[in-house]
Each structure stands twice: as structure tokens, then as C-alpha cells.
Structure 1
Amino acid sequence: MLGNFTYENPTKLYFGKDALSYLQDELALYGPNVQFIYGGGSVKRNGIYEKIMTVLQAAHKRVIEDGGVMPNPTLDKLYEGCRAAKEQKADLLLAVGGGSVCDYAKAVAVSAYCETDPWDTYYAHMRRIKNKIIPVGCVLTMAGTGSEMNGGSVITNTAEKRKIARVFDARVFPRFAVLNPEFTMTVPKYQMAAGCYDIMSHLMEQYFSGTDDTASDYIAEGMMRSLVHSSRQAIRDPQDYEARSNIMWLASWALNSFIGKGKSQDWMVHMLGQSLGAYTNATHGMTLAAVSLPYYRHIVKAGEAKFARFAQTVWQVRPDGKTAADIAAEGLQCLEAWMRSLGLVLHARELGMTEEMIPQIAEGVFITHGGYETLTREAVEDILQQSL
């Protein structure tokens, strides 16, 4: 394990079929005004909206409705939510939905009382929080992002075609999260598959870096194997509770900073995928899927030993008579086969990217330095070209 680190996670998780029964206890800890945040209406169609409203009414809360959060929350929507939270004096932001709804709630939490422009302050320039923060709670309906147990918040500035992720400190983490795997069973297969790949990408981006023997990597390998197994089960039978529960639990632990401790990390797949998403407004997990294989094939030689270990440990590739390069390449072939079995998008053109967009998308890619290779602008454009 490298260096010195501190691990803190203040989010309380309520997990299982009866998880929602604990929401009333949590609501009692906050004031009367609850901003009920949700997405495009699926929570009304699947009955979850009514369940939440029943709990809120039983707790005698004044509900401030904030629906219509889009899959890639926009800056305009953030401004709208901030106005509502401040004017209505929200005591709690209750996010009911998937990762985008949770991301948006955290953005509102830090931005509502910001005296300057929150995009400029917290996203474009990543400044420290000096204003009041509104508490956030989550009721999760889709597994994937891990946003229910971290400080991450991604906002898209549509005017500038920039999609920026900000990871806030523990003060912004949701205070609690309700995780009932049954709530994820109405999510379409396309979205479920995208969520599964988001989980895998989180695991791989923390795994594919460094050469030291870390406990974190052993944990990540076990989580990746579990995800591959459970995702296959869930694709065959979306009502498989055991598979859904494993996926939901993995999503929370894949990105609550636990498995990244004591090692460097490589977040270039997210940087590529987020810039692609800013131009196409495509589903987040699918943008990651479209750029992952071209990126990993670009850096595989530099990280050959780790990719070979990934092939053997996660995919059970037999090393007999093979070079490390052969084993590493076979591991990526296994990754691709699994991605195809889930129905993931493997080509960015299917998400709306054109060759003419590549220079602009490349311009919006932040370059990180934790991986086996630091990309040049030319390399970024080449990877995007290969993803077409």
C-alpha cells in the first residue's frame, strides 16, 4: 500500500427489501421542508413516487417537488433547483432515482447558497466550499454510479458543451441512502447494462495503475468477478433478486473511495467518456463502453503485467505457453465478449459521434496522470478515432 491516507465515509446505507421502512426515522432528523428530487417520471409509473409521498406525508413534511432531472443534469436545471431550495428553505434534498438524480441533488446542496456562479466556482475552477450545504438523502432506483455513497457530482454545461465531474468532500456525501434491489427491477435492460458497465469502469480505473502489491487490487478483482457473474444472471433474468442485490451492493463499494486507497488511479476512460457525453448527451455508461477498449488497447503495452494479471484473475485466462502480451490481449478479448453479451455500445458513432466532432471532443478531455501513460492530444484524438 502506497503513502499515507485517511478513509472516511459518513453515508448510512439501508439495504434490502425493507429498506424504505427506515426512511421515516431519517426524516425525523431534519426540518419540515423536503425537496423531493426525481427524474423524468418513471418513479410515478412504477409506484415508487407514491410510496415516497406516503412516507413524507406521514412524517408531516412540506414537499417541494423538483422533478424532471435529466440523465445528464444540465447547468440550467441546477440553477432551477438552487432557486427552489433557497426560496423554499429546503431542510433536506431527497433524491429518488439513479445516479444523475443523486449527482444533481449534491450539486444543488453546495450551490443553493453559493454567492457566486456555482459553475464557475465549483466546477470550472474547483474552489473550496465556503457556504451553507443542504443535507442530501437518496432512495436509489438504479445501480451503477455509486453516487449514493460518495461526493461526486457531474454537471453538463450545454452552452459550452462541457461535462465536468466534481468530487466534493465528506460534507456533501448523502447522509443516508435507501437501497432496495427490487426498485431496480423496472429499469430497461439498456440502462441496466449501462449501469453494470459504469461499475466495471469504476473498478478498472482504480485497478489499472501502479505496480505494487496492494490489498485494494485483490478486493477489486473479487468485485469484478462478482459483477461479471451477477450481470450475466441479471441479463438472463431481470427479476433475479440475488443478482440485482449483488449489483446494487457492488455499485456502492466500487466508487466510495475504498478500493482506491493506497494506490494511484487512472480516470482517463471517464475523462474521454464525459467529453463524448457532453457532445452527444448519450447514456453515461454507454459512453464509457464506447471508449474503453480503444483506450486500454492503447496503454496495454505500458501496463502489460497488470493487464496479464487481470486476464488470469478476473477472466481465468490460462497462461500456458503464452507471453505476457498474449495473455493481456486475451483478457481484453474476454472483456469485449462480456460487454457484447450485455448489449453494450462499442462504437461511439452509435451514440451520435461523427469524425468531424473528434477535435472538439478531444479539446474537452481533461488529461489525468495516474495511469501507465499520460496521453497527448494526438493520442486522445487517435483513441476517439478508434472508438468510431
Structure 2
Amino acid sequence: MNIDFTYENPTAIHFGKNSLDVLGDELKKYGDTVMLAYGKGAIKRNGLYDSVMKILQDGGKKVVELSGIMANPTYKKVVEGVELVRKNNVDLILAVGGGSVIDCAKAISVSAHCEEDYWKRYWIDFKPLANEVVPVASILTLAGTGSEMNAGSVITNEEQKLKMGRVFPANVNPKFSILNPEYTFTLPKYQMVSGIFDMMSHLMESYFSNEDDVTTDYLIEGLLRSIIHSARKAVQDPKDYEARSNLMWSSTLAMNPIMGLSKKQDWEVHMIEHQVGAYTDCAHGMGLAAVSLPYYRYIYSYGLDKFVRYAENVWNIDGTGKTKEEIALAGIDALEAFTKECGMVTSLKELGATEEMLPQIANSTVILDGGYKKMTAGEILDILKKAY
């Protein structure tokens, strides 16, 4: 562990079939006005909305609703939420949904008391958080992003065609998160497997960096193996509680900052996908799946030993009689076979991208230097073409 770090995670996790039972007691810790933030109506159809509203009403809370949060939450939606918080003096934002809803809630949280242009300050200039935040809590309905236990927030500015992520200090973390795997049972398969690749990508972004012996890499390998095992079971039976519970917890751990400790971390796949998403509004996990395979085939030789380790320890590739290059590529081939087995998308064309978009996506992608190869816009364009 050669890179110094400070680790803090203040989120309380309530996990399991009866986890909603704690909501009433948790709400007593906050003021009278709660913003209930959610998506486009799924929680009303499955009955969760009614259950949560009853608990809020029984607790004497005034409820302000922000509905219609989209899969890639927009800056306009953040502005709408900020206005509601300011107008109603909201004491707690309760996000009920997947990572997009929780990301949007955190963006509203940091922006509500910001006196500047908060998009520019926090997502463009990446200035330090310098104002009061509104507490956030979450009830998770989709496993994939890990937003329920971190301080990250990814927001799309539709006018600027920019999808930007920001990790805030730990005081922006949800104060508590309720995780009942049964809430994920009604998700369409498309969303479920998109979330599965998302959690895997979070782990691989951290894994494919560094050349030293880091405890974090062993943890990542174990989580990837668990996700692969449980994903296969969940695809066959989406109501397999054991599989869905393992996936939900793996997702939370995958994007918990503990999985990046003492790691440089890559995140270039995410930077590319963010711009794919800004242009196509695609499901995040599916965009990651389409980008990851050509990206890893492009960079594997720069981190050859780690890709060999990945193939052997995650995918059980037998290296007997193979060169390092052959083993590494066999591991990437195994990842591709798994994505197809689960029904994940591996083509940008399927996600709505056009050939004309590709140069724009490449030229607007943020380029990082934490992985094995610092990319250029031209190289990113080549990868997009291979993903197309």
C-alpha cells in the first residue's frame, strides 16, 4: 500500500427484507420538511411510494415532492430541485430510486445553499465545497452505481452536451441508506444487467492501475468473482433473493471509496461513456459495456501483468502453454462472452450513437492519467469506432 490515504464513510446502511422498518426512527433525527425525490413512477406502481409516504405522514413530516428524475439526471432537474429546497426550507432530501435519483439528490444538496453558478463551480471548475449542504438519505431500488454509500454525483448538462461527475467530501454521503433487495425484483432485465456491468466497471477502473502489491486488488478480484457468479443466477431467476442481495451489496462496495484505496485508478472508460451518454442518453452500464472491450484491448499491453492476473484470478484462465499476451486477451474475451451471456449491449450503434457523433464525443471526453495509458482524443476516436 504505497499511496497514503484517509478513509471516511459516514453512511449508515440498513440492509434486508425488513430494512424499511427503521425509516421512522431515522426520520426523527431531522427537521419537519422532507423532499421526496424519485423517478418516473416505478415506485408508485410497485407500492413503495405508498409505504414511504405513510411513514413520512405518521412521523408528522411535511412532504415536498420532486418526481420525474431521469436515468441520466439533468442540470435542469437539479435547478428545479434547488428551487424547491429553497422555497420550502427542506431539512432532508429522501431519494427513492436508483443511482440517478440519489446522484440528483446529492447535486441538489450541495447546490441549494451555493450563491454562485453551482454547475460551473462544482462540475466544471471542481472548486472545493464551501457552503452548507442539505442532508440526503436514500432508499435503493436499483443496484449498480453505489451512490447510496458515496459522495459522487454525475449530472448531464443537456445544453452543453456535457455529462460530468464529481466526488464531494464525505459529508455529502447519504446519512443513511435502506437496501432491500426485493425492491429490485421488478426491474426489467435490461436495467438489471446494465447495473451489473456498471458495478463491474467501477471495480475494473480501480483495478487496472498500479504495479505494486495492493490489498485493494485482492478485494476487487473477490468482488468481481462474486458479481459474475450471482449475475448468472439472477439472469436465470430475477427473484433469486440470495443472488440479488449479493449483487446489491457488491454494488455498494464496488463504488465505496474503500475499493480505490492506495490505487491511482483509471476511470477513462467512464469519461468516454459520460460523453456517449451526453449525446445518446443511453443506460450508463450499457455504454460502459460497449466502450470497455475495445478500450481494454487497446491498453492491455501497457499493463500486461495486471491483465494476466485478471484473466487468471477473475476468469480462471489456464495459462498453460500460452504467452502473457494470449492469457491477457483470453481474459478480455471472457469478459466479452459474459456480457453477451447476460444480454448486455456491446455496440454504440445499438445505444443510438451515429458515426457523426463519434468525433464530437472523442473531442469532448475528459482525459485522465491514472491508468496504464494516457489517451489522446485521436485514440479515443479509434476506440469509439471499434465500439460502434
- Give deviations 1:92-147, integer Å, cap 9, x for gaps: 00000000000000000000111111111111111112221000000000000000
Match of 1:344 in 2: 344
Find the residue that maps to 1:198 and give its secondary structure. Answer: helix
How many residues of Structure 1 are paired with residues of Structure 2 in the alignment? Answer: 388
Instruction: Give the letter for the 1:247 counterpart.
Output: L
Match of 2:236 in 1: 236
Instruction: Give the letter for the 1:59 counterpart.
Output: G
Match of 1:2 in 2: 2
Match of 2:122 in 1: 122
TM-score, with length taken from structure 1: 0.99
Match of 1:29 in 2: 29
Runs (4+) of structure 1 exceeding 6 A deviation are none
Give the Å deviation of 1:385.
0.8
Match of 2:362 in 1: 362
Find the residue that maps to 1:64 and give its secondary structure. Answer: strand
Match of 1:78 in 2: 78
- Which blocks of at least 5 consecutive residues in structure 2 are unaligned? none
Instruction: Give the letter for the 2:216 counterpart.
Output: S
Instruction: Give the letter for the 2:338 counterpart.
Output: W
Match of 1:386 in 2: 386
Give the Å deviation of 1:264.
1.3
Give the Å deviation of 1:372.
0.5
Match of 1:283 in 2: 283
Query: How far apart, CA to CA, are the structure 1 residues paired with 2:350 and 2:174?
Result: 34
Answering whether residue 190 of structure 2 is matched by residue 190 of structure 1, we say yes
Query: How far apart, CA to CA, are the structure 1 residues paired with 2:128 and 2:83?
Result: 21
Query: How far apart, CA to CA, are the structure 2 residues paired with 1:233 and 1:3?
Result: 37
Give the Å deviation of 1:355.
1.2
Match of 2:318 in 1: 318
- Give deviations 1:349-375, integer Å, cap 9, x for gaps: 111111111111012210111111000
Instruction: Note the 1:1-388 alignment, pairs <5 A.
Output: 1-388=1-388
Query: How far apart, CA to CA, are the structure 2 residues paired with 1:320 and 1:128?
Result: 51
Instruction: Give the letter for the 1:350 counterpart.
Output: E
Find the residue that maps to 2:172 and give its secondary structure. Answer: coil
Give the Å deviation of 1:3.
2.1
Find the residue that maps to 1:300 and give its secondary structure. Answer: helix
- Give deviations 1:248-305, integer Å, cap 9, x for gaps: 0001110111011012100001001000000000111111111000100000111111
- Which blocks of at least 5 consecutive residues in structure 1 are unaligned? none
- Give deviations 1:313-353, integer Å, cap 9, x for gaps: 01100011111100001001110010001111100011111
Query: How far apart, CA to CA, are the structure 2 residues paired with 1:162 and 1:124?
Result: 10
- Give deviations 1:211-265, integer Å, cap 9, x for gaps: 1111100000000000000000000000000000000000111011101101210
Query: How far apart, CA to CA, are the structure 1 residues paired with 2:333 and 2:119?
Result: 40
- Give deviations 1:197-224, integer Å, cap 9, x for gaps: 0000001000011111111000000000
Query: How far apart, CA to CA, are the structure 2 residues paired with 1:27 and 1:364?
Result: 42
Query: How far apart, CA to CA, are the structure 1 residues paired with 2:2 and 2:280?
Result: 38
- Give deviations 1:162-186, integer Å, cap 9, x for gaps: 0000110101010000000000101
Query: Between the two proteins, what is the percent identity of the paired residues?
Result: 52
Query: How far apart, CA to CA, are the structure 1 residues paired with 2:302 and 2:139?
Result: 41
Instruction: Give the letter for the 2:322 counterpart.
Output: K
Give the Å deviation of 1:54.
0.9
TM-score, with length taken from structure 2: 0.99
Instruction: Give the letter for the 1:90 counterpart.
Output: V
Find the residue that maps to 1:294 and give its secondary structure. Answer: helix
Query: How far apart, CA to CA, are the structure 2 residues paired with 1:64 and 1:286?
Result: 33
Query: How far apart, CA to CA, are the structure 2 residues paired with 1:131 and 1:5?
Result: 25
Find the residue that maps to 2:374 and give its secondary structure. Answer: coil
Query: How far apart, CA to CA, are the structure 1 residues paired with 2:274 and 2:74?
Result: 13
Query: How far apart, CA to CA, are the structure 2 residues paired with 1:121 and 1:259?
Result: 28
Q: CA RMSD in A?
A: 0.6
Query: How far apart, CA to CA, are the structure 1 residues paired with 2:276 and 2:377?
Result: 15
Deviates more, 1:96-105 or 1:120-129: 120-129
Query: How far apart, CA to CA, are the structure 1 residues paired with 2:27 and 2:348?
Result: 43
Instruction: Give the letter for the 2:385 counterpart.
Output: Q
Query: How far apart, CA to CA, are the structure 1 residues paired with 2:253 and 2:227?
Result: 12
Give the Å deviation of 1:4.
1.3
Query: How far apart, CA to CA, are the structure 1 residues paired with 2:301 and 2:156?
Result: 34
